[in-house]
């Protein structure tokens, strides 16, 4: 039972207590030469206890033999470890680094359950104070390392240069500690940002801002994790700790989270000033800004009505619940559709345009902008409605469709940006407007491919390096548009594919020795057919079948012996559907799912028999060649 378990855990805790308490004495002894093994074993024991109990039981274990709880001990212990890290600029693999990771895992184990309950769970004041002190020390440590890394010429701080995603686990643990004392940690972050913003403004042209910029980079990552969850695969909501605290705040503009977010957005907007951009906003700092805005916008920008106005049962105390609900609505309404949501949305779009145009060659920054920030803006229809009405969004769409500037983006970003722009058509007032918008986006790309394929000297012109690059970029754009197919834009995307049927066949012929271009041509057709297959009428179906038949015949005539190519063709469900598409028998078409399953589960011989029986000779030979090699 529970009491027996607590007694057992207390015995375990008592047995390891001298290894970790008092923390300052233990840390000093290790720094003086004592072995760290007992201390690390003590940290592991705390983690083991945390995995089998709740935060409240964990905390009260120590209170029977000490004047403070176990969580306070955990906080004090980690504070000492962080101090050692700060003092020694400790590298990965040392005892303090290992101890920090174990203790962070312990905090995560204890707090993640509270963070996901959906209820207002208030930790004891002693624990909240301990968590606030620990988080303040953690931030101080991270800022010290960030500042030192700015002047590092010896590679001592390489871990700070790691990608944002590589630091995600550690930052997520920091966020849980911050949320345990959110009333104190949000004002702390606001103060730290304000101090550094002021330092940049006051020292422009007089002092080197590099240290401050590195500190801001670190603060942006920490704050982004504290304020919002990742929300991969779903629409994230405001963390429970933020929803249920700050209950005394009724006026939205004075909400501590609004003040923090507003100061960061105002700083980000400063990057639109060319002079400030040249002196302050390095590509690295812009990466952190774009990452923060992407994460933040999914949670706080124009939140859906059901999230904003729902009356989640966050607390049994109805009076507290009413106060919490009022504060929560004040927070979420501030960046809503009828308040500051549209101006902030416009700022974000203009910042996105700036990163794509004013930072040429910055692949990581542009990838964050295309794949995370802009993509986050089109996830919800209510945001798309306002997005397509913005002049800044129309400028971005026009630049994409007509200007040469954005052709310099790499192929992945071309595809992602095209997909995002087409998805935003969902916000248009009707299907006709949506289709016209898509036509305008893709007209230049399709017209160029048609024009190129019609040249008398196509074979010579097509082999020029700049033409190969341009064709590849345009094909990626068409792929992106095809991947964004939805019912209201299907017509325009069908027309897009129809208009380049002959150019695709001609380009497949002239680029038969350019494997990268051939791959893009095939992938475009795959994505286009995959998006259209559910919508085609009989006449359109016949046209697509004829096109796919010619494509497969032409491709197989050049590549029948190249197993690697045919593996690309048939290794995806959609390309197999394309192959089945050319099998004119109604009987075979109805057996489409069976054929797919046969292939997926590796029964190649049955599929070979099937193909041979319908005289699909070239496809049969291709499959046969794969089987022989495999």
What is the DSSP secondary-structure string of 420-450? HHHHGGGGSSSHHHHHHHHHHHHHHHHHHHH
What is the arithmetic mean of pLDDT over 456-472? 93
| Judgement on whether residues 502 and 578 belong to the same structural domain of the protein | no
Within-domain flag for 400: yes
* pLDDT over 80 at 596, yes or no: no
In a domain? residue 603: yes
Confidence category of residue 548, pLDDT binned at 50, 70, 90: confident
- Final residue before a domain boundary, out of 532, 565, 586: 532
DSSP letter for each residue of 489-535: THHHHHHHHHHTHHHHHHHHHHTTT-HHHHHHHHHHHHHHHHHHTTT
626 or 412, higher pLDDT: 412
Token pair 């801001």 is found at 216
pLDDT of 562 higher than 60: no
Domain final residue pick, 513, 532, 551: 532
Look at residue 234 in the predicted model and tell me its pLDDT: 65
Q: Print burial letters for 360-398: b (CB count within 10 Å at least 16), e (below 16).
A: eebeebbbbbbbbbbbbbbebeebbbbbbebebbeebbe
Confidence class of residue 559 from pLDDT cuts 50, 70 and 90? low
The answer on pLDDT for 598 being more than 80 is no
446 and 572 part of one domain: no
Is there a single domain that holds both residue 545 and residue 438?
Answer: no
Q: What does the alpha-carbon distance between residue 463 and residue 460 come to, in Å, rounded to a whole number?
A: 6
Q: Are residues 517 and 440 in the same domain?
A: yes
End-to-end Cα, the chain, rounded Å: 58
Q: How many domains does the chain have?
A: 2
- Examine residue 441 and state whether it is found in any structural domain, yes or no: yes
CA nearest to 424, candidates 380, 468, 361: 380
Residues 465 and 403 reside in one and the same domain = yes
Please check the confidence at residue 505 and state whether its pLDDT lies above 90: yes
Looking at the domain assignment, is residue 550 inside a domain?
yes
Is pLDDT at 571 greater than 70 in this prediction? no
pLDDT of residue 536: 85
* Domain, as residue range, for 474: 391-532
Q: What tens digit of pLDDT does each residue of 325-345 get?
A: 777 888 888 999 999 999 999
| Least reliable range by pLDDT among 113-117, 162-166, 198-202 | 162-166
One domain for residues 630 and 575: yes
SS3 282: coil
Q: Same domain for 570 and 626?
A: yes
Which has more pLDDT, 581 or 262?
Answer: 262
Q: Is the pLDDT of residue 180 over 60?
A: yes
**What confidence tens digit (pLDDT) does each residue in 195-246 have?**
999 998 886 767 788 899 999 999 999 999 999 987 665 667 888 889 888 8
Give the separation between CA 25 and CA 30, rounded to whole angstroms.
Answer: 9
pLDDT band at residue 399 under the 50/70/90 scheme: very high
Task: Identify whether the C-beta of residue 110 lies closer than 8 Å to the C-beta of residue 179.
Answer: no
H helix intervals, 151-181: 168-179
Least trusted range by pLDDT, from 93-102, 337-346, 431-440: 93-102
Collapsed DSSP state (helix, strand, coil) of residue 72: helix
pLDDT the model gives residue 162: 53
- The reply to whether 452 and 426 lie within a common domain is yes
Residue 489's pLDDT is 95
**Does residue 413 share a domain with residue 497?**
yes
pLDDT of residue 182: 94
Q: Check: CB of residue 114 under 8 Å from CB of residue 122.
A: no
Structural contact between residues 129 and 69, judged by C-beta atoms closer than 8 angstroms? no
CA quadruple 95, 100, 106, 112: dihedral, nearest 10: -160
For residue 538, name the pLDDT band (cuts at 50, 70, 90): confident
DSSP state of 117: S
Q: Tell me the average pLDDT across 242-263.
A: 89
Query: CA 201, 190, 141, 373: dihedral to nearest 10 degrees?
Result: -80
Contact 235, 304 (CB under 8 A): yes
The string of pLDDT tens digits covering residues 296-308 is 999 999 987 645 4
Give the Cα separation of 384 and 177 in Å (integer).
35
pLDDT at 252: 86
Do 508 and 518 touch, CB atoms closer than 8 A?
Answer: yes
| SS3 (DSSP) at 561 | coil
pLDDT of residue 416: 96
Its pTM stands at 0.86
Q: Are residues 443 and 488 in the same domain?
A: yes
Q: What is the pLDDT of residue 509?
A: 92
Contact 66, 73 (CB under 8 A): yes
**Is the pLDDT confidence value at 161 over 70?**
no
Nearest alpha carbon to residue 75 among 59, 93, 86, 57: 59
What is the distance between the alpha carbons of residues 127 and 74, in angstroms, rounded to a whole number? Answer: 10
Q: Is residue 588 included in any domain, yes or no?
A: yes
**pLDDT of amino acid 555:** 80
Taking 60 as the threshold, does the pLDDT of residue 164 lie above it?
Answer: yes
Least confident of 192-201, 204-213, 253-262, 488-497: 204-213
Return d(Cα 616, Cα 398) in angstroms, integer: 45
The verdict on 599 and 520 lying in the same domain is no
pLDDT higher than threshold 70 for residue 484: yes
- In this structure, the answer to whether residues 516 and 541 fall within a common structural domain is no
Q: Is residue 547 part of a domain?
A: yes
State the pLDDT at residue 496. 97
Give the whole-angstrom CA distance, residue 382 versus residue 397.
19
- What pLDDT is recorded for position 209? 85
- pLDDT, residue 120, reads 61
Q: In which band, very low, low, confident or very high, does the pLDDT at 115 lie, cut at 50, 70 and 90? A: low
The domain boundary, picked from 532, 553, 573, lies at: 532
CA distance 325 to 337: 19
DSSP 310-372: ------S-HHHHHHHHHHHHHHHHHTSTTTTHHHHHHHHHHHHHHHHHHSTT-HHHHHHIIII
Q: Has residue 614 been placed in a domain?
A: yes
**What percentage of the chain exceeds 70 in pLDDT?**
80
Long-range contacts of the stretch 141-146 (C-beta < 8 A, 24+): 141/82, 141/85, 141/86, 142/218, 142/222, 143/192, 143/215, 143/218, 143/219, 144/86, 145/86, 145/89, 145/218, 146/211, 146/214, 146/215, 146/217, 146/218
| Separation between Cα atoms, residue 582 and residue 514, nearest integer Å | 26
| pLDDT recorded at residue 588 | 36
Q: Tell me, yes or no, whether 587 lies in a domain.
A: yes
Tokens 């680029």 belong to which residue? 511
CA distance 235 to 376: 10
Query: What does the pLDDT average to over 50-78?
Result: 92
């Amino acid at each position: 039972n529970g009491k027996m378990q607590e007694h057992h855990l207390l015995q375990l805790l008592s047995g390891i207590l001298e290894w970790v308490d008092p923390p300052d004495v233990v840390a000093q002894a290790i720094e003086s030469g004592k072995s760290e093994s007992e201390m690390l074993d003590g940290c592991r024991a705390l983690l083991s206890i945390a995995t089998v109990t709740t935060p409240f039981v964990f905390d009260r274990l120590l209170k029977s033999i000490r004047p403070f709880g176990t969580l306070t001990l955990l906080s004090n212990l980690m504070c000492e470890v962080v101090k050692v890290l700060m003092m020694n600029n400790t590298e990965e693999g040392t005892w303090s680094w290992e101890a920090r990771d174990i203790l962070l895992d312990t905090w995560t184990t204890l707090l993640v359950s509270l963070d996901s309950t959906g209820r207002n769970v208030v930790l004891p004041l002693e624990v909240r104070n301990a968590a606030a002190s620990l988080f303040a020390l953690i931030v101080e440590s991270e800022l010290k390392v960030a500042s030192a890394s700015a002047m590092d010429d010896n590679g001592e701080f390489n871990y700070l240069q790691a990608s944002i995603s590589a630091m995600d686990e550690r930052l997520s643990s920091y966020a849980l500690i911050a949320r345990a004392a959110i009333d104190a940690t949000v004002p702390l972050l606001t103060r730290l940002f304000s101090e550094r913003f002021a330092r940049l403004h006051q020292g422009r042209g007089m002092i080197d801002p590099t240290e401050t910029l590195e500190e801001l980079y670190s603060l942006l990552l920490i704050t982004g994790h504290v304020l919002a969850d990742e929300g991969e695969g779903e629409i994230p909501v405001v963390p429970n700790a933020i929803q249920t605290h700050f209950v005394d705040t009724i006026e939205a503009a004075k909400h501590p989270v609004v003040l923090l977010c507003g100061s960061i957005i105002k700083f980000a907007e400063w990057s639109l000033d060319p002079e400030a951009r040249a002196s302050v906003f390095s590509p690295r700092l812009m990466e952190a800004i774009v990452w923060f805005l992407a994460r933040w916008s999914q949670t706080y920008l124009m939140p859906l009505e059901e999230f904003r106005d729902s009356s989640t049962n966050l607390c049994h105390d109805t009076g507290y619940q009413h106060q919490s609900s009022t504060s929560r609505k004040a927070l979420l309404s501030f960046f809503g559709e009828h308040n500051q949501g549209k101006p902030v949305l416009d700022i974000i779009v203009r910042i996105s345009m700036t990163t794509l145009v004013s930072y040429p060659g910055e692949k990581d920054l542009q990838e964050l902008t295309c794949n995370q920030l802009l993509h986050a803006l089109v996830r919800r229809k209510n945001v798309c409605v306002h997005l397509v009405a913005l002049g800044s969004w129309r400028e971005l769409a026009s630049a994409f469709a007509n200007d040469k500037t954005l052709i310099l983006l790499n192929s992945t970003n071309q595809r992602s940006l095209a997909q995002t722009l087409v998805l935003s058509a969902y916000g248009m007032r009707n299907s006709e407007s949506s289709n016209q918008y898509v036509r305008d986006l893709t007209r230049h790309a399709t017209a160029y491919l048609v024009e190129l394929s019609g040249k008398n000297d196509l074979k010579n012109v097509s082999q020029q390096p700049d033409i190969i690059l341009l064709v590849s970029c345009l094909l990626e754009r068409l792929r992106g548009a095809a991947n964004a197919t939805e019912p209201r834009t299907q017509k325009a995307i069908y027309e897009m594919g129809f208009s380049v049927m002959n150019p695709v066949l001609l380009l497949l012929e002239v680029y038969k020795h350019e494997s990268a271009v051939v791959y893009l041509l095939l992938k475009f057709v795959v994505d286009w057919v995959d998006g259209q297959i559910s919508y085609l009428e009989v006449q359109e179906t016949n046209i697509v079948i004829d096109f796919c038949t010619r494509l497969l015949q032409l491709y197989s005539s050049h590549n029948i012996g190249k197993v690697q190519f045919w593996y690309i063709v048939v290794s995806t469900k959609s390309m197999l559907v394309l192959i089945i598409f050319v099998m004119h028998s109604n009987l075979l078409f109805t057996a489409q799912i069976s054929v797919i399953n046969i292939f997926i589960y590796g029964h190649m011989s049955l599929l070979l028999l099937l193909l041979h029986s319908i005289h699909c000779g070239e496809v049969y030979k291709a499959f046969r060649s794969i089987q022989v090699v495999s």
